[in-house]
Structure 1
Amino acid sequence: MRRADHRPSRRAFLDATGALMAAGLTAGCTAESAGSGRHGAPAAPASPAPVPALGRHQAGVALPQPAQGNLLVVVADLGTGVSPGALLAELGAAIRTLTAGTDPRLLGLAPGDLTVTVGVGPRLVRAAGAALPGAADLPGTTDLPRFSRERIAPHERGGDLLLQICASDPLVVPVAAAALLERAGDRVRERWRQSGRRGPNVPVGKDLAAPRNLLGFIDGIVGPHSAAEQRRDLWLAGPPAVAGGTLAVVRRMELDLRRFAALSVAEQEAVFGRRRASGVPLSGGTVAAGPDLGAKTPDGRYLVPADAHARRAHATVVGVGLMLRRSYSIDAPAPGLLFISFQNDLRTFTATLTHMDAADALLGFTTTTASATFLILPGFDRQRALGSGLFAR
């Protein structure tokens, strides 16, 4: 019997080679090259620039600008007997390795522009103030008062610890959160968490952009954007234990989308006091210039209505400083907004909301379902641990 010859024939070789070439060309054909007739490997998406985690201020407040597209907020309590100083120092160390991309708990993901911002609640700030000589009246000791249009469960009001985690890559956010909570272990008990996304960014000034919210309007146009405004209204100047920090207000709000969408565009714009498409005030001008609150129609009506949000929340009208808003749209547990504002005086927020409560047309479409305020700790570095100015380790 003749031995079978296992060497491929010339015809079989050519057929196999042609198949491999066709497969290679197909695999390397991008949507662009398919349309243009050019072949090549798809270009890798540009990685967002890293945001320094160390410095005078924590990342995730004023930087980056614009804010990353994805966020997760975790609010937790510390267990009885837990040392805040030791916990915060460990969290700071974890933030360094996570943002540097050297932490194996990132599971091989590139951190990109990951930021983690840490705050402590009034209970912890009051305890720290009592232990520090001459620091009994630290900023951040006051709880938020209750306002109208709230439906808040007890476990979703207040809290000891805030973790605000933001990144352009949506996969990085929950992975970083899991790593931080694993580091904290059973020393913390989670109260609530909320994820959110930013809408498309719209230019609102020189090197500034703000996103659209679920109501279709640009959110966060006004704020302390310049360095001088941030020194005046955003960052805490003292006492030394908190210098370089700020105060955060976090509120989750449901939005009545159905009722708002039933309004005409003109009626929606009257609620906000701005044009929906452009963000320009109803009084005219540019987006960044702000509304002319004295401008009237020929028959004497205000161009920016008396109950418009742009008027009722205007810092000059209220008599307070500017707040920096870093809000995100949410779709669970209900469509709405995770409102986050940063300011160096809690009255900036409380006086504004009190003034809005009386007549702001926008509030009629909102219901707040979670609320808390936190002292955002000053920045940290390798020699100065997170929270070390306030808490002993």
Structure 2
Amino acid sequence: MPERAAARGWSRRRLLGAGAAAAGAAGAAGLGAGTLMRGATADAATPAETVVPFHGEHQAGIATPAQRHAAFVAFDLRPGVSRDDIVGLLKIWTTDAARLTRGEPALADTEPELAARPARLTVTVGFGPAVFTAAGLERQRPAWLGPLPPFGIDRLEPAWSDGDLLVQVCAEEPTTVAHAVRVLSRGVTSLVTVRWTQRGFRDAEPGRTPRNLMGQVDGTVNLTTDAELDRLVWHDGSVTPWLAGGTSLVLRRIAMNLDTWDEIDPAAREFTVGRRLADGAPLTGADEFDEPDFEAVDSYGIPVIPPSSHIARARHTHDGERFLRRGYNYDDAPGPGRISDSGLLFTAYQRDPHAQFLPVQARLAEFDALNEWTTPIGSAVFALPPGVQEPGGYLGQTLFEA
């Protein structure tokens, strides 16, 4: 990591470095691999009683406008769990989630008062590889479902990686999230154990894009239209019929070294990311949502946006490298001798992580100026089944009753 004196000397020229030769087709995104479509990124300011419908073609919590608080809980199946056991678990989760999201207590809820404020609660369920093995459904497992290939920048920890089942819980209020996580976890302890829990938050003034804990506007661009979601996020069932209406989730836990980030000046931070701190505009633009001009040079012929900057390295090279993303900050208790333990929970939803997420992540791992201050320490991939369209169905029914 750079010392204080050296860090102050960061310049656009230094950031060019080897990245100038490796940059190729560069572009714009948020922390972690990102997409390039302009989207509404402000968090919705809604009453605590507002309900997000549970039933529908797709699971809620994916294309839903991002709530302020989230928890991601991964579970491991206990030894000997059968296909029927997994179906039973999914039926419990479906029933409880449907009730909690409309402001009603779960059937065995011991704190029913906490369910009265749904606060735009959503519950989203995902499957890891072991679900297909335990259920004898390996032939139905998508080819992309498994750990991502290793990257040179990764320092992955088992405590934040992989998992057999996932529950993603989001809401506007942390109490609502905590209650839902406890209810959904407590009712299935005979079948699964908690592998990890990751909690995050995001907030901004109405109509504004949230910032990450580095102070950067994060989430400027995203997929927004139904046509984009249909083409790039939702499966059409042509390859994996049971997954029609579902998608995939890549969850990356990215640690930030804020102690050394604090040592570089604002100009160096802007060159590192490629956007202005004040308003999130690209260094070549006047507005946050202006398209970056990666060909622009200054009076000395130096690119205004360094080819090694984060937005340059994260740019998609074709339409098939875009995906839907959400970012949640985390700020955990630091260990002895440390000031902070902070970072970003980066989520990417897409039809095929191998075709969409991996090429972008590979470019970031190869040479991204931001890698000096960020380290992926957790990684997991899940298949998210379609939604439950009518009461009486259950999550994953298209897989288990195909």
- Report how far residue 103 of structure 1 moved: 1.4
Q: Given residue 112 of structure 2, which amino acid in structure 1 is its aligned partner?
A: L
> Given the alignment of the two structures, is residue 102 of structure 1 paired with residue 104 of structure 2, yes or no?
yes
Using the alignment, how far apart are the partners of 2:392 and 2:144 within structure 1? Answer: 25
Over residues 263-315 of structure 1, what are the superposed CA-to-partner deviations in whole Å (9 max), with x where a residue is unaligned? 11111011111111211111215322431222222322212111111110011
Q: 1:143 to 1:126 in 2, by over 3 A?
A: farther
Q: 1:210 to 1:88 in 2, by over 3 A?
A: farther
Moved more, 258-267 or 136-145: 136-145
Moved more, 105-114 or 89-98: 105-114
Q: Do the aligned residues in 2 keep the contact of 1:323 with 1:341 (CA within 8 Å)?
A: yes
Over residues 129-188 of structure 1, what are the superposed CA-to-partner deviations in whole Å (9 max), with x where a residue is unaligned? x638xx556255232112223333334321111111111111111111110012212211
Using the alignment, how far apart are the partners of 1:175 and 1:262 within structure 2? Answer: 39
Give the equivalent residue in structure 2 for 1:19: none
Give the equivalent residue in structure 2 for 1:299: 300
Q: Given residue 251 of structure 2, which amino acid in structure 1 is its aligned partner?
A: V
Correspondences of 1:266-281 after superposition (within 5 Å): 266-281=267-282
Give the match's secondary structure for 2:253. strand
Over residues 6-44 of structure 1, what are the superposed CA-to-partner deviations in whole Å (9 max), with x where a residue is unaligned? xxxxxxxxxxxxxxxxxxxxxxxxxxxxxxxxxxxxxxx
Over residues 344-382 of structure 1, what are the superposed CA-to-partner deviations in whole Å (9 max), with x where a residue is unaligned? 110222211111111111122112222111111111131
> Given the alignment of the two structures, is residue 156 of structure 1 paired with residue 160 of structure 2, yes or no?
yes
Correspondences of 1:21-32 after superposition (within 5 Å): none
Q: Which has the higher contact order (CA 8 A, sep 6+)?
A: 2
Q: Do the aligned residues in 1 keep the contact of 2:160 with 2:253 (CA within 8 Å)?
A: no
Using the alignment, how far apart are the partners of 1:288 and 1:220 within structure 2? Answer: 11
Give the equivalent residue in structure 1 for 2:258: 257
Using the alignment, how far apart are the partners of 2:290 and 2:231 within structure 1? Answer: 19
Q: Of 387, 390, 395, which aligns to 1:386?
A: 395
Q: Given residue 191 of structure 1, which amino acid in structure 2 is its aligned partner?
A: R
TM-score by length of 1: 0.80
- Report how far residue 52 of structure 1 moved: 0.9
Give 4+ residue runs of structure 1 displaced > 6 Å after superposition.
none
Moved more, 138-147 or 264-273: 138-147
Q: Given residue 300 of structure 2, which amino acid in structure 1 is its aligned partner?
A: D
Q: Given residue 212 of structure 1, which amino acid in structure 2 is its aligned partner?
A: R
| Percent of paired sites with the same residue | 36
Using the alignment, how far apart are the partners of 1:285 and 1:56 within structure 2? Answer: 40
Give the equivalent residue in structure 1 for 2:93: 91
Using the alignment, how far apart are the partners of 1:362 and 1:178 within structure 2? Answer: 36
- Report how far residue 321 of structure 1 moved: 2.4
Using the alignment, how far apart are the partners of 1:116 and 1:268 within structure 2? Answer: 36
Q: Which runs of 5+ in 2 are unaligned?
A: 1-45, 334-340
Using the alignment, how far apart are the partners of 1:139 and 1:174 within structure 2? Answer: 34
Q: Of 325, 328, 338, which aligns to 2:345?
A: 338
- Report how far residue 392 of structure 1 moved: 4.4
Give the equivalent residue in structure 2 for 1:176: 180
Using the alignment, how far apart are the partners of 1:161 and 1:305 within structure 2? Answer: 41
- Report how far residue 201 of structure 1 moved: 4.8
Q: Which runs of 5+ in 1 are unaligned?
A: 1-44, 204-208
Aligned length: 338
Q: Given residue 108 of structure 1, which amino acid in structure 2 is its aligned partner?
A: E
Using the alignment, how far apart are the partners of 2:97 and 2:76 within structure 1? Answer: 19
Q: Do the aligned residues in 1 keep the contact of 2:49 with 2:103 (CA within 8 Å)?
A: no
Give the match's secondary structure for 1:331. strand
Give the equivalent residue in structure 2 for 1:50: 51
- Report how far residue 107 of structure 1 moved: 2.9
Q: Do the aligned residues in 2 keep the contact of 1:304 with 1:311 (CA within 8 Å)?
A: yes
